[in-house]
A and B are shown apart, each in its own frame.
Chain A
Amino acid sequence: MERATRLAPSFGAAAAVMLAVGLYLGLVAAPPDAVMGEVQRIMYLHVPSILTAYLAFFIVFCASVLFLWKRDLGFDAVAVSSAEIGVVFTGITLATGSIWGKSTWGVWWTWDARLTLTAILFTIYMGYLMLRSFAEDPQAGARYGAVLAILGFLDIPLNHFAVYWWRTLHQPSSLLRPGGPSVAQAMLVPLLVNMLGMVLLYTYFLLRRVQLEQRRHLILEGRLKRGRRG
C-alpha cells in the first residue's frame, strides 16, 4: 500500500493530462450531435462519471468481502474511501444527467428506469456513508459497513428488474451493449480518453483517501494507548 501511495502524484498528474485532452477533444474538437446539438457534449462527462461510479461501488463490494474474510482494517479503508468517491461520481452523473434531460426531454427529472436506478444507488451508498459516520467503534463500523455493502450489491440486480418492468425511457447504453459501441468514431475517441482520465482520477482520489483513513486509524490507536496508560 505504501508503495502505491507514493505513486499517487503520478496518477494525479496523468488524470489531469488525460482529462484536459479528453475535455478538449469532447468540448471543442468533436462534432456536435446531429439531433441534440451542442448540449450532447455533456455526455463526455456524464458517461465516464457513471462508469467510474460503478467501478467504485464494485471495489467497495470486493473490499468489504475481503475485510470480513481477512479482518484487515486496510481493506475497510479501501471500502469506505471508494464508497465516498463513488457517491461523488454518482452525484456528478445525476447533476449532468439532469441538465442534459432538461434540454432534450424538457424536464429536469423523470422517473425513467436508469435515472431511478442511479438515484437508488445514490441513496444506498449515502446510507452506507451515514452508517459509517454514526458507528462509534471502528471495528464494529467496519463490520456493519461491510455487511451493508454486500447486501446493497445483492440488491442491484433485483432493483434492475423491478425498475425496468416499471418503466423505461432513457436511451439504451451506447458503450456497453452487445455488438460493440454505437457511437461515431469522432465521438468515441474523446469519450474513451475521458473514461481513462476519470479512472485515473478515481485511483488518485482512492490512494489519497485511503492514506487519510490510515492516518485516522493511527490517531485513534494512539489515543487508545494513551488512554490505557493514563
Chain B
Amino acid sequence: MSAIGEVVRRTWAMTRKDVTVELRARERVNAMLFFAALVLFIFNFALGPDREKLREVAPGLLWLAFLFTGMLGLARSFQAERENDCFEELLLTPGDRESIYFGKLAGNVLFMMMAEALILPLFGILYNLDVWAQLPSLALVAVLGTVGFSTIGTLLAAMTAHLRAREVMLPLLLFPLTVPVILGSVRATEAILSGGGLGEVSHWLKLLAGFDVIFLVACPLAFEFVLEE
C-alpha cells in the first residue's frame, strides 16, 4: 500500500513541477491555445462557409484540432527538459521511473484538456453546433481519447527528444499508432453530435477504454527502456 502511495506522491511532485514551470513561463499553454484557435479559423477557409457541409465533417475537424494541439504540447514536454539540461537530474530522482512517466502524462493530459476546453465552445460558436446539450457525453469521449493519445504520446515524446529531426519524428510515429483512438473518438463524437446517446456508442467507448488500459500498463514498463543511459 505504501509503495503505491509513494508512486502517487512522486507522480504528483512531477506533475506539480511541470504545472509550476508552465504557470511561470507560459510557453506551452499559450502557444497551444492560440494554435487551436488558428486551426479552427483555417479549417473554415479550407472548407468554405457551407453550413451543412461543415456540420457533416465537424466531428473530424474537432478531433483534428484536439490532436494537432495536443501534439504541440507533447513535443514540448521533454524537449524543454533537454534544452535546459534537466534530463540527467530527472533521471537522478530516486525511485521508479514510472513516476516520471505518470507525472509527465498527467501534465500532458491536463494541458491538452485545457486546450480542448477552449476549442469546444469556440467550435460550437464558429460552426454553429449545439455542443452544450451533449456536453457530459462529449466530455467522456474527450477524456478517454485524450488519455489514450497521451499515453503513447508521452512515451514517444521522451524517445524522440533524443533524436535528430525530433520535430518531425513525433507525429510520424504517433499518428499511425493512435489510429484506434482517432477513429473511436471521431465516430463516437459524430454519433453524439447527431443526437445519439451513450448506449449507441458503447462499443467505441469500450475500444477507447481498452486502448487506455493496455497502454497505461505497457507504456510505463516501456519507459524504463527508453530512459536508460
| Cβ distance A66 to chain B, nearest Cβ, rounded Å | 13
Q: Which of A68, A146, A148, A159 lies in contact with B179, CB distance below 8 A?
A: A159
Whether B180 pairs with A130 at a CB distance below 8 angstroms is: no
Chain B residue with minimal CB distance to A120?
A: B179
A140 touches B222 (CB 8 A): no
Main secondary structure of the interface of B (DSSP, over half): helix
Give the tally of cross-chain contacts (CB within 8 A).
Answer: 79
Inter-subunit contact B222/A150 (CB<8 Å) = yes
Q: Choose, from B32-40, B109-117, B158-166, the stretch at the interface.
A: B158-166
A158:B180 contact, CB within 8 angstroms: yes
Question: Known contacts A131-B169, A161-B207; is A147 also within 8 Å of B214 by CB?
Answer: no
Q: How far is the CB of B99 from chain A (nearest CB, A)?
A: 19
Asked whether, in the complex, the Cβ of A120 is within 8 Å of the Cβ of B207, the reply is: no
Q: Which chain A residues border B179 with CB–CB below 8 Å?
A: 120, 155, 159, 162-163
A151 touches B222 (CB 8 A): yes
**A130: min CB distance to chain B, Å:** 6
Given contacts A144-B159, A158-B211, contact A151 B225 (CB under 8 A): no
Q: State A123–B175 Cα separation when bound (angstroms).
A: 9
Task: Establish whether residues A131 and B173, one from each chain, have CB atoms under 8 Å apart when the complex forms.
Answer: yes
Q: What is the bound-complex CA distance between A152 and B228, given in angstroms? A: 21
Q: Which residues of chain B come closer than 8 Å to A159, judged between CB atoms?
A: 179-180
Contact residues in A for B163 (Cβ distance below 8 Å): 131, 134-136, 144
- Chain B residues whose C-beta falls within 8 Å of the C-beta of A131 in the assembled complex: 159, 163, 169, 173
Chain B residue, CB-CB nearest to A166: B183
0/1 interface trace, chain B 135-178, chain A, CB 8 Å (1 if under): 00000000000000000100110010011110001001101110
- A130 engages B225 (CB within 8 Å): no
Contacts of A150 on B, CB cut-off 8 Å? Answer: 218, 222
Interface size on B, residues (CB 8 A): 32
B207→A158 contact, CB < 8 A: yes
Q: How large, as a class, is the contact surface on chain A?
A: 20 to 34
User: Is A124's CB within 8 Å of the partner chain B?
Assistant: yes
The answer to whether B214 touches A154 (Cβ under 8 A) is yes
B211 x A134 contact (CB < 8 A): no
Chain B residues contacting A148 (CB-CB under 8 Å) are 156, 159, 173
Q: How far is the CA of A144 from the CA of B157 in the complex (A)?
A: 12
Given contacts A127-B172, A147-B159, contact A134 B164 (CB under 8 A): yes
Tell me which residues across on chain A come within 8 A of B129, comparing CB atoms: none
In the bound complex, residues from chain B placing their C-beta under 8 Å from that of A217 are none
From 143 to 200 in chain A, residues with beta carbon under 8 angstroms from any chain B beta carbon are 143-144, 146-148, 150-152, 154-155, 158-159, 161-163, 165-166
Instruction: Check B203 for interface membership: any CB of A closer than 8 A.
Output: yes
- In angstroms, Cα B215 to Cα A78, docked, is 26
Contact A124 B177 (CB under 8 A): yes
Known: A124-B177, A147-B226. 20 other contacts (CB 8 A): A123-B176, A127-B176, A134-B164, A143-B225, A147-B159, A148-B159, A148-B173, A151-B177, A151-B222, A154-B218, A158-B210, A158-B211, A159-B179, A161-B207, A162-B180, A162-B207, A163-B179, A165-B187, A165-B203, A166-B183
**B interface vs A, CB < 8 Å?**
152, 155-156, 159, 162-165, 169, 172-173, 175-177, 179-180, 183-184, 187, 203-204, 207, 210-211, 214-215, 218-219, 222, 225-226, 228
Q: Which 4 A-B pairs have the closest CB atoms?
A: A123-B176, A162-B180, A158-B180, A162-B183
* Residues of A that sit less than 8 Å from B by CB: 68, 120, 123-124, 127, 130-131, 134-136, 140, 143-144, 146-148, 150-152, 154-155, 158-159, 161-163, 165-166
10 pairs, A vs B, C-beta closer than 8 Å? A68-B225, A120-B176, A124-B177, A130-B172, A134-B163, A134-B164, A135-B162, A148-B156, A151-B177, A158-B210
